[in-house]
């Protein structure tokens, strides 16, 4: 077997437990991060070339969204071959070089795993279609006869997350289940061959040297017995808010217990992270019990508005839910599936709506910077989505003809504005793609992108990039930050959050007005200028401050 460099040593931010408990993990969306060959599409060579930037930023690990062989019906989340790299991103040799370079820099690599569904171009599914009803390959997916006199109706009333029925009829009359696009047929995890295959896939990438997996749709693998109807409800509104027969079924936990035994076979603390949309943080905690996965995304926190009372409630419930299972809380504000928080916090009303004034944009950015400092002060692990460290907003005025999000092209379901957070990020002030690559970019970048680039912000003490760099440095060096299970809330004016950790206090003013509080200690970092007057600190609107005490 190929010899690989050892994974980097665990961060030393106040804990001697697993590195993931206080890691800051940076999400790279490969097609939009950096283009190494000038074809307008980001790739592994581009990511590899920018690893020193991520090291300098101060993150601990890099999570790569899918780069597997795929027809790209859903930006790579329709996988045709789990052991091959799509040519648009490079080769297995490129992946090997990226992993090696990351380890040399002290960075870990987490790769996306997509176990709920494959591409309809996966060899298994193509054979299933060829071999017909009753064949062994069909049993690896959910094929069913239809309802109605001639089987002309779907087997049940489930709807696709992308809108429309969750079933597509084949030429021989049977229907197959796809909770997402028709090009993404769901695996049948009751079939032993599926479980065997994914155990093999895990070992393939662990042998390649990856440090962990982000598990896509971790809550969706097991469906309720008999695939029962939901019954005429608005299913999209129930997602993540209620029990559903195709999400968060208890049977998924047996799968993850088997995966944990594989992860534990390998040295250097290999991990798995669940993308699990559940009705409550208590249900999310089930995925990170000691014999299951290591982390789960905290979507309840991501969806919380910039409001002190609501933030405190979700922080308390998150920490309380994770404590009994001895798992770290995770905190995240943006990812490749949601409106960037620099836009969301300025205009919480809806996806795809434009920030129409400079004041809107400034408000969103100020709140986003304050929210980031609050997030990085909390106990546990934090996730950063590429470009948020530049203060990038969503691009909300993309022409319809350039959009590629599959949900945009369906009559119902999501709003279809995920393309807005996927526009390639800017590296330089000038150039046809602001340093993304020499061949333009697969989605058009706004004319303002150069002013938000890494080049423009580097060395500017007031920039969002330098705020992130400073925050991650302080977070790593201060013994009171990083891992932990609790905060001590302090008395504070309405609209202000204040909590203490070891030798550290965080104050966050979520209101639109300046608020005066007793001076907590020596200011370490703030997203806005704080005035000290007569032993009182004046916190500007939408400002978070870190204090040493």
Active site residues: 216, 265
Tokens 């922080």, residue? 315
Residues written for the chain:
549
Contact 521, 534 (CB under 8 A): no
Contact 256, 249 (CB under 8 A): no
Contact 394, 421 (CB under 8 A): yes
Contact 469, 494 (CB under 8 A): no
d(C-alpha 310, C-alpha 304), whole Å? 7
Contact 468, 371 (CB under 8 A): no
User: Cα dist. 494→187, 307, 509 in Å?
Assistant: 50, 10, 9
DSSP track, 182-214? TTSPBB-TTSHHHHHHHHHHHHHHHHHT--EEE
d(C-alpha 115, C-alpha 79), whole Å? 9
d(C-alpha 147, C-alpha 135), whole Å? 21
Pairing state of beta strands 522-526 and 543-548?
Answer: antiparallel
User: Cα dist. 325→10, 19, 377 in Å?
Assistant: 22, 17, 22
295-296, strands of its sheet edge to edge: 295-296, 271-274, 212-215, 108-113, 61-64, 24-28, 381-385, 330-332
Contact 14, 21 (CB under 8 A): no
HSE-up of residue 282 (Cα within 13 Å, Cβ side): 1
Which of 548, 529, 439, 496 has the alpha carbon at shortest distance from 36?
A: 439
d(C-alpha 116, C-alpha 228), whole Å? 19
Backbone angles phi, psi at 274, to 5 degrees: -90, 125
d(C-alpha 338, C-alpha 526), whole Å? 26
């Amino acid at each position: 077997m190929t010899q690989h460099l050892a994974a980097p040593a665990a961060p030393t931010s106040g804990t001697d437990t697993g590195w993931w408990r206080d890691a800051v993990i940076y999400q790279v969306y490969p097609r939009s991060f950096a283009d190494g060959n000038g074809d307008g599409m980001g790739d592994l060579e581009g990511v590899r070339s920018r690893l020193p930037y991520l090291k300098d930023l101060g993150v601990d690990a890099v999570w790569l969204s899918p780069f597997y062989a795929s027809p790209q019906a859903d930006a790579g989340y329709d996988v045709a071959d789990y052991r091959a790299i799509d040519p648009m991103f490079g080769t297995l040799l490129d992946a090997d070089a990226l992993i090696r370079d990351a380890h040399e820099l002290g960075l870990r690599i987490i790769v996306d795993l997509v176990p709920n569904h494959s591409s309809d171009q996966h060899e298994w599914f193509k054979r299933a279609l060829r071999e017909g009803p009753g064949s062994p390959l069909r049993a690896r997916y959910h094929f069913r006869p239809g309802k109605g006199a001639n089987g002309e109706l779907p087997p049940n009333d489930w709807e696709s997350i992308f809108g429309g029925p969750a079933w597509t009829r084949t030429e021989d009359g049977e229907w197959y289940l796809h909770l997402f696009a028709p090009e993404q047929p769901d695996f049948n995890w009751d079939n032993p061959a599926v479980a065997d295959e994914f155990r093999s896939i895990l070992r393939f990438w662990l042998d390649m040297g990856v440090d962990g997996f982000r598990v896509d749709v971790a809550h969706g693998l097991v469906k309720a017995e008999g695939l029962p109807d939901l019954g005429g409800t608005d299913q999209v509104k129930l997602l993540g808010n209620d029990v559903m027969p195709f999400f968060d079924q208890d049977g998924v936990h047996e799968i993850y217990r088997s995966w944990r035994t594989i992860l534990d076979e390998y040295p250097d603390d290999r991990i798995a992270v669940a993308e699990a949309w559940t009705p409550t943080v208590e249900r999310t905690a089930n995925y990170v019990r000691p014999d299951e996965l290591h982390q789960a995304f905290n979507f309840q926190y991501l969806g919380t508005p910039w409001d002190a009372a609501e933030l405190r409630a979700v922080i308390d419930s998150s920490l309380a839910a994770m404590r009994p299972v001895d798992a770290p809380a995770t905190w995240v504000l943006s990812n490749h599936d949601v409106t960037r928080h620099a836009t969301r916090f300025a205009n919480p009303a809806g996806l795809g709506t434009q920030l129409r004034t400079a004041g809107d944009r400034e408000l969103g950015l100020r709140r986003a910077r304050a929210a980031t400092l609050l997030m990085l002060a909390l106990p546990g692990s934090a996730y950063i989505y590429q470009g948020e460290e530049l203060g990038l907003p969503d691009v909300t005025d993309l022409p319809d003809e350039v959009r590629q999000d599959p949900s945009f092209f369906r009559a119902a379901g999501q709003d279809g504005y995920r393309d807005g957070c996927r526009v390639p990020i800017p590296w330089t002030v000038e150039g046809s793609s602001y340093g993304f690559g020499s061949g333009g970019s697969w989605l058009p970048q706004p004319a303002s992108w150069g002013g938000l680039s890494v080049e423009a912000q580097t060395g500017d003490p007031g920039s969002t990039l330098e705020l992130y760099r400073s925050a991650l440095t302080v977070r790593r060096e201060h013994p009171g930050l990083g891992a932990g299970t609790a905060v001590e809330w302090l008395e504070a004016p309405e609209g202000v959050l204040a909590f203490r950790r070891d030798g550290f206090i965080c104050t966050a003013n979520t209101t639109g007005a300046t608020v005066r509080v007793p001076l907590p200690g020596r200011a370490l970092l703030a997203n806005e200028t704080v005035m000290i007057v007569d032993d009182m600190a004046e916190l500007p609107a939408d400002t978070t401050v870190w204090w040493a005490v």
